[in-house]
Amino acid sequence: MKLPFDFQNPYASTRLPGFFRNVVSTSTPLGAQAGLRMLLKGGNAVDAAIAAAAALTITEPVSNGLGSDAFCILWDGKGLHGLNASGPAPAGWSTDYFHHKYGAHQKAPPKRGIDAVTVPGAVAAWTALHARFGKLPFADLMEPAIEAAEGGYGVPPVVHQKWKAGAPELAALPGFAQSFLPFGRAPEIGERFTFPAAARALRAIAETGGEAFYRGEIAAALVRFARQAGGVLSEQDLANFQPEWVTPISRDYRGYTLHEIPPNGQGIAALMALGILEQFDLAALPVDGADSQHLQIEAMKLAFADVYQHVSDSRSLQISPEQMLDDQYLASRARLIDMGRAQTFGAGNLVRGGTVYLTAADENGMMVSFIQSNYMGFGSGCVEPGFGISLQNRGHGFNLDPASPNGVQPGKRPFHTIIPAFLTQGGQPVMSFGVMGGNMQPQAHMQTLARMLDYGQSPQASCDAPRWRFDQGLDINVEGAMNRQTVAELERRGHRVKTIDDAYQDFGAGQFIWRLGGEGAGYVAASDPRRDGQAVGY
């Protein structure tokens, strides 16, 4: 089968695409190798993904931990399955709880600290995926992570960068310095870091199939820690949690179909933006020129205007995904774009009704798109010290407006930024992919897919290409490698452009596995040079 792109990469890159029958691509080499070990052991892509995810809690603790949330889309050989393992608010949370504790002026739960922590979902994601699709014993999947935690590893450059940047803000939070500042500072590049407390947790998770985390000794430790820190997380909050199997939402684009997890995530933003872009002949515009970039920026702004207004826990939606993805509605939004000037957009008139990404695929056709996150760097900054549970700060995704679809309520999931993605054609799998990085995620889904499907660039070239990031209003950030003439023209059209060379912080990082053809033909994989990771396989 002829692929819809060539492998001439017009961008400076230290990465080349890899071709494999079995492959894992993650943001750290040790994470990728953890998954590869399971494939070599006879496991499938789900086994590989779980092992990689567990290892990444140790080897990239700046972005995720044992107290993360997670989402997954997988192709099992016959169809797609979605998993939402984002945890809900504790039963003790309400608008009154936060206003009483922090004052009536408070607009959202705090950014850091124990009152930013919702029920962690990642471990439940691992066990749910394994129970339904795993092949190897669950305990085997924890082995690489345990080895990394006990034996240690040399801290890679990009992980070091964010570790060092986050330490001053987080050092005083409960358990953080004890866990992540073992030298009284962040580890240097190449310095060996061990995490024996997390190894203890991983052993308990391995031995109990995750039960210890939600109903056993780890759960008890988490509740004690939360109470000591002034929080209200309870034994019942943990014991009641179950991840949810969901049907991905989708939209066609240029003969392919993009699939995303439905709300409470922001994946619908990528679908909406592509639906708006489809109203234009993007391929007729120079790929790195101002017209193409301006059009994509404006489409993304329009999508975000609706997403930030309407997306929440699926049980609280006042506008359905179907309404937001309606063809006529998206066509009407596309007509608002002015090719000569940048604009700010409000939500449309709809009728009411710190992250790691990894992907794995095996020679039997199973493909896994998996993402887990502590949200902002190191999440809440709170770390239960006995088991090394670094807790996310997803509660900050709520607001404290009782009338808002995303207002905090007991047992409710907050608006979530992390989104795995999957591409099919004619009902058959094409690519498992994702790009981590806050609100950069749907923006990069759109930018990389436009490069592949409109311009015929390979996954690695699409990954390496310079990116922009919409911030707010007329503000955008661009990478330093972006064409200077394009940047100048965007500024002339009214975009307020800030050039940033710190790619780790601002422009996300992706992993891509594209299926090469018929059964047994294998895959081509790409890994983002903005992280320490790689694609590995055989």
Question: Shortest CA distance to 416 belongs to which of 106, 35, 43, 87?
Answer: 87
In 60-121, alpha helices (H): 95-102
Say which residue the tokens 């006042």 belong to.
318
What is the per-residue pLDDT for 4?
79
% residues pLDDT > 90 (the chain): 85
**Concatenated DSSP letters for 432-501?**
EEEEESTTHHHHHHHHHHHHHHTT-B-HHHHHHS--EEEEETTEEEEETTS-HHHHHHHHHTT-EEEEE-
Question: Shortest CA distance to 406 belongs to which of 304, 301, 318?
Answer: 318
Instruction: Quick: pLDDT tens for 125-138.
Output: 999 999 999 999 99
pTM: 0.94
User: In a 3-state reduction of DSSP, which class is residue 297?
Assistant: helix
Question: Shortest CA distance to 317 belongs to which of 397, 214, 413, 381?
Answer: 413
**Among the listed ranges 11-20, 43-52, 67-76, 286-295, which one has the minimum average pLDDT value?**
11-20
Q: Which residues contact 137 (CB under 8 A, 6 or more apart)?
A: none
Instruction: Quick: pLDDT tens for 411-434.
Output: 999 999 899 999 999 999 999 999
Catalytic, out of 118, 257, 355, 424: 355
Instruction: Quick: pLDDT tens for 308-337.
Output: 888 888 887 788 899 999 999 999 999 999
Q: Which residues contact 472 (CB under 8 A, 6 or more apart)?
A: none
- pLDDT beyond 70 at 7: no
Does residue 393 contact residue 117 with C-beta atoms inside 8 Å? yes
Question: Shortest CA distance to 531 belongs to which of 176, 141, 120, 15?
Answer: 15
Residues in the chain: 538
Classify residue 501 as exposed, middle or buried by CB count within 10 Å of its CB (0-12, 13-18, 19+): exposed
Instruction: Quick: pLDDT tens for 250-262.
Output: 999 999 999 999 9
Question: Shortest CA distance to 429 belongs to which of 357, 369, 372, 371?
Answer: 369
Does residue 232 contact residue 226 with C-beta atoms inside 8 Å? yes
The average pLDDT across 381-387 equals 98
- Assign domain 1-266+311-318+353-467+508-538 to its CATH superfamily: Gamma-glutamyltranspeptidase, small (S) subunit (3.60.20.40)
Residue 534 C-alpha from the chain's centroid: 17
Main-chain dihedrals φ then ψ at residue 448, nearest 5 degrees? -70, -40
- pLDDT beyond 80 at 1: no
Q: How many helices (H) and strands (E) does the chain have?
A: 20, 21
Q: Tell me, yes or no, if 247 is annotated catalytic.
A: no
Q: Which residues contact 480 (CB under 8 A, 6 or more apart)?
A: 466, 499, 500, 501
Q: Which two tokens stand for residue 316?
A: 């609280």
Q: Which residues contact 276 (CB under 8 A, 6 or more apart)?
A: 299, 302, 303, 330, 333, 334, 337
